[in-house]
C-alpha cells in the first residue's frame, strides 16, 4: 500500500458504531480488506465482522483464530465508558487490546502498524506512575482483581487510568517492535459525538463536557478521529512511532491559554 491507499487486511475493533465504524468505512473505501471485531455486526457490507467480547479472553482468541494469516494493520478502537464497573472498564480498555495485539502480532510483518485509541482523559489520571506500572504487569482477571484491591478506583477514574495505561503501554510496545519494523502509536480523542457520549456526560459530568464543547465550539465527529487513525495506519505516517496524538480540536491549547499571563497581550 502507498500513501493513504490501502491493500491487505486491517483489523478494526469497535467497528459497529462510532469512531470504529467511521474508520472501517474509510479504510474499506481506500482499498483495505477490513475485519471488524465487535459484539455487534458492522453495518458496512464490504466489512467482515467477527463477533467478539473484549471482556472475555476466550472470545478474543476465537476471533483471532478466524483472521487471515497476514494482517497489515490493527486499530484497537473498542472501549467502554466510566459508567461501567471498574473491572469491566480496565478489562475492555486495557487487557482486551493488549491480548488482541499479542495474538495478532505473529500475523504482522515489517511495515505493519498498530494504533490504539486512548483518550484525552488519560491526562486526567490520578494514579501514580508506580500504580500504572503495576497495572501494566496485570495479565488476567485474577491479577486485575488484586490490583483493584490495592487501588480501589471507581468507574470514572478507572476510565482515565485505563487510557493512561494504554498510552504508556503503546509507547513500550513501540520500543519492543522497532526492530521488527512494526509501528505502534496511540490517538487520544477529546469528546466525540458517538452513541456513548451520554455515558461520558454521566461519568465525567455534564458541566465538564459542556465546558469542553464551549472551549472549541463543538465536540468532534467520528470521521475526524477515524481520519487521523487511518493516516497513522498508512505508510504516509511511516515516521510516526511511539507517540500519542491528541485529536481534540484545540482543547488543550484553549486551556493553556486561559492560564497564560501573556495570552491577552499576544499580537497576531
Exposure class string for 51-60: b at 16+ Cβ within 10 A, else e: ebbbbebebb
Rounded to whole angstroms, how far apart are CA atoms 204 and 216?
18
Q: Is 159 a catalytic residue?
A: yes
The alpha carbon dihedral of 192, 87, 124, 228 has a sign of: negative
Strands ordered across the beta sheet of 183-189: 48-51, 33-38, 9-13, 73-76, 113-117, 183-189, 244-247
To 10 degrees, what angle do helices 206-216 and 197-204 make? 110
Most distant CA pair in the chain: distance in Å?
60
> From the centroid of its chain, how far is CA 36?
15
Rounded to whole angstroms, how far apart are CA atoms 13 and 18?
11
E strand segments, 14-101: 33-38, 48-51, 73-76
Residue 190 has φ and ψ, to the nearest 5°, of -85, -165
Catalytic residue chosen out of the listed positions 35, 123, 159, 221 = 159
Active-site positions read 159
Amino acid at each position: 500500500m502507498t500513501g493513504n491507499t490501502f491493500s491487505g487486511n486491517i483489523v478494526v475493533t469497535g467497528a459497529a458504531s462510532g469512531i470504529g465504524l467511521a474508520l472501517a468505512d474509510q479504510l474499506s473505501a481506500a482499498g483495505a480488506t477490513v475485519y471488524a471485531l465487535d459484539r455487534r455486526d458492522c453495518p458496512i457490507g464490504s466489512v467482515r465482522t467477527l463477533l467478539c467480547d473484549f471482556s472475555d479472553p476466550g472470545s478474543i482468541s476465537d476471533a483471532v483464530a478466524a483472521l487471515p494469516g497476514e494482517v497489515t494493520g490493527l486499530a484497537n478502537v473498542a472501549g467502554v465508558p466510566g459508567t461501567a464497573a471498574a473491572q469491566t472498564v480496565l478489562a475492555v480498555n486495557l487487557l482486551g487490546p493488549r491480548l488482541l495485539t499479542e495474538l495478532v502480532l505473529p500475523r504482522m510483518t515489517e511495515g505493519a502498524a498498530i494504533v490504539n485509541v486512548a483518550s484525552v482523559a488519560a491526562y486526567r489520571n490520578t494514579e501514580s506512575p508506580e500504580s500504572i506500572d503495576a497495572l501494566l504487569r496485570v495479565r488476567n482477571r485474577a491479577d486485575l482483581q488484586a490490583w483493584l484491591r490495592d487501588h480501589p478506583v471507581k468507574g470514572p477514574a478507572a476510565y482515565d487510568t485505563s487510557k493512561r495505561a494504554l498510552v504508556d503501554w503503546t509507547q513500550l510496545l513501540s520500543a519492543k517492535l522497532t526492530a521488527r519494523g512494526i509501528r505502534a502509536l496511540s490517538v487520544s480523542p477529546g469528546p466525540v459525538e458517538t452513541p456513548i457520549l451520554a455515558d461520558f456526560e454521566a461519568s465525567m459530568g455534564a458541566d465538564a463536557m459542556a465546558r469542553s464543547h464551549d472551549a472549541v465550539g463543538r465536540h468532534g465527529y467520528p470521521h475526524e478521529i477515524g481520519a487521523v487513525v487511518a493516516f497513522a495506519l498508512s505508510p504516509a505516517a511511516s515516521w510516526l512511532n511511539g507517540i500519542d496524538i491528541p485529536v481534540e480540536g484545540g482543547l488543550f491549547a484553549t486551556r493553556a491559554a486561559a492560564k497564560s499571563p501573556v495570552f491577552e497581550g499576544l499580537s497576531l
